[in-house]
């Protein structure tokens, strides 16, 4: 097997609040293989965005830091690269798209210019050839009448069309890895389906890997090869998409699945999740999910490590009860 495209090990990212550093991402280890989509799922505040921003080193310059761990990409540790080296890499080898299509594009630049800019910066192309490429990209993401729309401004596009523009911009330099932070959450269901289908198709034709952040398990089923479930800054379960749906093993994953509307089940059986993710300043000492957990035991006061489930090395769970192993620090 070839090396993973992205190999994150023991990542810990922190924010400074009232003079103290608190971890928003902890003990985060995850690899993304070539041409694979890994979904990162979890409730609001579980640290999904913080993880993606850490990988691309886009956390705020002040009041945020990567405290521990490594982010291996193409033989380099991104956590240790200089800002100048990161600038060369962003948008070129790793691209990112964001949740808010309405505000993520510059309102005073034409969409053509915004796409062309990536090509100009990283390829040193002339404006002319970059614009030609921008047009090709707009056609590729299926913007109707792309030639006429090249010189339009973002406010002249609908949300779904803007997200297509964002995708065109992200693909401009054929990145190896795409970080997609809830790219369809703000779109209505039909548009969401179209954008997801487009992403899947482009992933194949461009041969890239995707780290797909979402809190929608329906989207996970459509997109992911493997799924990492995050809770309070940690991965609590990591397995193939089939295993996650058929054999959810962390109590939190079970709760998430029960709360998810599905076509094959009666929506009357839905169980809303009670409570919320603890804030980063108030993390419990032991298992972070314990206060909300139906299977809670005295052992849960100790912080569990991510451990393989029974005989399956590729299905890991962070739960004393389910993984039945020695609790770690």
Ligand X SMILES: Nc1ncnc2c1ncn2[C@@H]1O[C@H](COP(=O)(O)OP(=O)(O)OP(=O)(O)O)[C@@H](O)[C@H]1O
Q: Which stretches of the chain bind ligand X, using CB under 6 A?
A: 15, 17, 24, 42, 44-50, 60, 63-64, 215, 279-280
**For residues 96 and 280, which CB has a smaller minimum distance to ligand X in the complex?**
280
Query: Of 13, 37, 49, 253, which lies in the binding site for Mg ion, with binding defined by CB under 5 A?
Result: 49
Report whether 137 contacts 168 (CB < 8 A).
Answer: yes
Query: Of 34, 87, 198, 273, which lies in the binding site for other proteins, with binding defined by CB under 8 A?
Result: 87
**Six-digit token string for 14:** 């922190």
**For residues 40 and 168, which CB has a smaller minimum distance to Mg ion in the complex?**
40
**Whole-angstrom Cα distance, residue 137 to residue 115?**
8
> In whole angstroms, how close is the CB of 228 to Mg ion at the nearest point?
15
> In whole angstroms, how close is the CB of 171 to other proteins at the nearest point?
12
24 binds, among ligand X, other proteins, Mg ion, none (CB under 5 to 8 A by kind): ligand X
Q: Note whether 128 binds other proteins by CB under 8 A.
A: no
99-103, Cβ contacts within 8 angstroms, sequence gap of 24 or more: 99/181, 99/182, 99/183, 99/185, 99/186, 100/186, 101/159, 101/160, 101/162, 101/163, 101/166, 101/186, 101/187, 102/159, 102/162, 102/186
> In whole angstroms, how close is the CB of 274 to Mg ion at the nearest point?
22
Helix axis angle for 127-140 and 159-171, nearest 10°, is 120
> In whole angstroms, how close is the CB of 190 to other proteins at the nearest point?
24
Q: Note whether 209 binds Mg ion by CB under 5 A.
A: no
Query: Of 71, 169, 235, 309, which lies in the binding site for other proteins, with binding defined by CB under 8 A?
Result: 169
Compute how many other C-beta atoms are within 10 angstroms of the C-beta atom of residue 265: 12
**Whole-angstrom Cα distance, residue 88 to residue 242?**
37
DSSP 60-83: -SSSEEEEEEEEEETTEEGGGS-H
**For residues 114 and 222, which CB has a smaller minimum distance to other proteins in the complex?**
114
Q: Note whether 118 binds other proteins by CB under 8 A.
A: yes
**Whole-angstrom Cα distance, residue 146 to residue 171?**
16
CA atoms within 13 A on the CB side of 170: 28
Q: Note whether 123 binds other proteins by CB under 8 A.
A: no
> In whole angstroms, how close is the CB of 131 to ligand X at the nearest point?
34
66 φ/ψ angles, rounded to the nearest 5 degrees: -90, 115
Q: Note whether 112 binds other proteins by CB under 8 A.
A: no
Name the residue among 8, 54, 6, 9 with its Cα closest to residue 34.
6
β-strand pairing of 209-214 with 37-41: parallel
**For residues 58 and 132, which CB has a smaller minimum distance to ligand X in the complex?**
58
169 binds, among Mg ion, other proteins, ligand X, none (CB under 5 to 8 A by kind): other proteins
**For residues 68 and 122, which CB has a smaller minimum distance to other proteins in the complex?**
122
Q: Note whether 20 binds other proteins by CB under 8 A.
A: no
Report whether 278 contacts 47 (CB < 8 A).
Answer: no
Which residues from 90-109 bind other proteins, rule CB under 8 A?
A: 90-92, 95-96, 98, 100, 103-109
198 binds, among Mg ion, other proteins, ligand X, none (CB under 5 to 8 A by kind): none
Provide the binding-site residues for other proteins, judged by CB under 8 A.
56, 58, 62, 87-92, 95-96, 98, 100, 103-109, 117-118, 121-122, 153, 155, 166, 169
Provide the binding-site residues for Mg ion, judged by CB under 5 A.
49
């Amino acid at each position: 097997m070839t090396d993973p495209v992205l190999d994150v090990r023991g990542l810990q990212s922190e924010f400074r609040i009232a003079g103290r550093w608190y971890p928003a991402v902890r003990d985060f280890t995850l690899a993304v293989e070539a041409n694979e989509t890994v979904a990162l799922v979890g409730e609001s505040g579980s640290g999904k965005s913080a993880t993606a921003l850490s990988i691309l080193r886009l956390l705020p310059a002040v009041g945020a830091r990567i405290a521990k761990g490594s982010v291996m990409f193409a033989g380099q540790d991104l956590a240790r690269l200089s800002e100048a080296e990161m600038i060369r890499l962003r948008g070129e080898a790793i691209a990112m798209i964001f949740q808010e299509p309405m505000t993520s594009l510059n309102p005073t630049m034409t969409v053509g210019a915004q796409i062309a800019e990536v090509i100009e910066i990283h390829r040193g192309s002339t404006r002319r050839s970059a614009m030609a490429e921008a047009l090709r990209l707009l056609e590729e993401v299926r913007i109707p009448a792309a030639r006429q729309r090249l010189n339009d401004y973002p406010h002249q596009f609908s949300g779904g069309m803007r997200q297509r523009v964002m995708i065109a911009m992200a693909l401009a330099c054929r990145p190896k890895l795409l970080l997609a932070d809830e790219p369809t959450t703000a779109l209505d269901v039909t548009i969401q389906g179209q954008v997801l289908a487009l992403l899947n198709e482009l992933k194949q034709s461009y041969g890239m890997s995707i780290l797909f952040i979402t809190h929608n398990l329906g989207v996970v089923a459509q997109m992911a090869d493997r799924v990492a479930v995050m809770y309070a800054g940690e991965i609590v379960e990591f397995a193939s998409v089939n295993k996650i749906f058929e054999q959810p093993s962390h109590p939190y994953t079970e709760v998430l699945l029960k709360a998810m509307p599905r076509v094959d089940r009666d929506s009357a059986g839905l169980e809303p999740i009670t409570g919320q993710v603890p804030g980063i300043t108030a993390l419990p000492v032991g298992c972070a999910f314990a206060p909300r957990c139906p299977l809670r035991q005295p052992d849960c006061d100790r912080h569990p490590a991510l451990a393989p489930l029974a005989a399956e090395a590729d299905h890991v769970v962070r739960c004393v009860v389910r993984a039945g192993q020695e609790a770690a620090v």
